[in-house]
Amino acid sequence: MSQPHFLLVTIPAQGHINPTLQFAKHLIRIGVRVTFITCISARHRMTKVPTAQGLTFLPFSDGYDDGFQPGDDVDRYLSELRRRGKEAISEFITSGENEGKPVTCIVYTLFIHWATEVARKHHIPTALLWIQPATVFDIYYFYFNGYESTIKAQADETNPKRSIKLPGLPLLATSDLPSFVTASNVYRWGPSLIQEQMDVLADEYNPKILVNTFDALEHETLNAIENFNMVGIGPLIPSSFLNSNDSLDNSLRTDLFQSDSKDYFQWLDSKPKSAVVYVSFGSIAVLTKQQVEEIARALISSRQPFLWVVRNRKDGGEEEDKLTCREELEQFGRVVPWCSQVEVLSHPSLGCFVTHCGWNSTLESMVAGVPVVAFPQWTDQWTNAKLIEDVWGNGVRVSANEEGMVECDEIVRCLDLVMGDDEKGMEVKKNVEKWKGLAREASMEGGSMDMKLKAFVDDVAQAGCK
């Protein structure tokens, strides 16, 4: 049997590219040749292009080679991404067939479901790489498959704590649902894309859904949908978390943002064990001026050393312009435009992580064994925050006031809880250690993840031979 050749396709966003590269790493390790496709705009911003034996990196133009800009039309962008993406994939597949290097399988991530149209045309199997938790996939599935009216009836915005019960899931409140469900009028493009994804899967016989999670973390939710076989193949995290000298890991890590320097590591080295508050809201969220000020006041009030990622305007953030007390802040901590999150979370001085709860950050904090202050902003982050506080217990979630603002005192309260040694703080730390051990066990080389991927590759190969 010839060497399997997988085509991985993702949108040009850091939170999508990084777990897909980790997935590519595991495929290469078990003997799969990988072609990684994303947009030129991501290539332009990469600090280094992913390189490895067995990997081909293939950027294509979506018509927005300088990236999607504020004010650009979302619908037009998505239309061009779909049209040009389908053309690029089809041309690559045809070229490979002519050269005797056929594609064995196409694996696509969130918002790239149109890749299945190309795959069907060329009679190639496909798989969805779901880069959010299984719980969020289940919520979307039930919402678009018979439970929409139930969710809307129970989701009473005047009573955000009212319970919503869905099969196989923990009790949810309105505030625990993804914003594509609760704020569909704001993110009108989101629900339609998710529904298209569910329709694509419904049309397939035995659809393959690979989820960036692991059995111990989401066993029930991985098995909540009778129609689908969802397989946890995560956590898709860098091996450096595991003290592994993995050459593949080093070559397949990239960043779309840059830090001016890494002298913050010297600063971290100077701090006591488990003392530093790390604050980062990821690569997309932009906070209001008032929210930035509330966070700043909380960090000053807490008197804890902190490392705060405040993206500058060049990187699509505006928080840097909103800081009015930077000089006072830097008496206690460091403010940086970006940092190497994996290395920061792994540093012994880290005491907690104030995070937007993006799924990559959630898993990385879990593997690193760092308690979390959950500060969600949109999409799946609301559900992730619910899971962190109420299901896994490895952190606490901030509460906003009636205007949606998280005030200084509330942030300090949460910091004191996870950094303190009272009953709640000790319970969080105990859960942090539990999930750290289980997450690392799941991601060990040669472990259950590799076994599942080998079974998946074999299944795809057999399907291609029929």
**Distances, alpha carbon 187 to alpha carbons 164, 256, 284, in Å:** 22, 24, 14
- The single residue of 16, 113, 347, 356 carrying the catalytic annotation is 16
26 and 10, same structural domain? yes
201 and 172, same structural domain? yes
Q: Which residues contact 224 (CB under 8 A, 6 or more apart)?
A: 134, 138, 166, 167, 168, 169
**pLDDT at position 246 over 70:** no
259 within a domain of the structure (yes/no): no
User: What is the average pLDDT across 398-419?
Assistant: 95
- The first and second tokens of residue 63, run together, are 């018509």
Q: Which of 149-163, 167-181, 258-272 has the highest mean pLDDT?
A: 167-181
Instruction: Give the count of domains, the chain.
Output: 2
212 within a domain of the structure (yes/no): yes
User: Is 16 an annotated catalytic residue?
Assistant: yes
Task: Report pLDDT digits (tens) over 98-112.
Answer: 888 899 999 999 999
Q: Containing H/E element for 159?
A: none
- In this predicted structure, which of 57-66, 106-115, 139-148, 277-286 has the lowest mean pLDDT? 277-286
416 by Cβ neighbours in 10 Å (0-12 / 13-18 / 19+) ranks as: middle
Write out the residue range of the structural domain in which residue 122 sits.
5-253+444-465
239 and 173, same structural domain? yes
User: What is the average pLDDT across 62-74?
Assistant: 89
CATH number at residue 224: 3.40.50.2000
391 and 434, same structural domain? yes
> Which pLDDT score is estimated for 185?
62
224 and 329, same structural domain? no
> Which pLDDT score is estimated for 450?
82
- The model's confidence at residue 254, banded by pLDDT at 50, 70 and 90, is low
The predicted model scores a pTM of 0.93
pLDDT averaged over the chain? 89
> Which pLDDT score is estimated for 52?
83
- The first and second tokens of residue 383, run together, are 């559900």
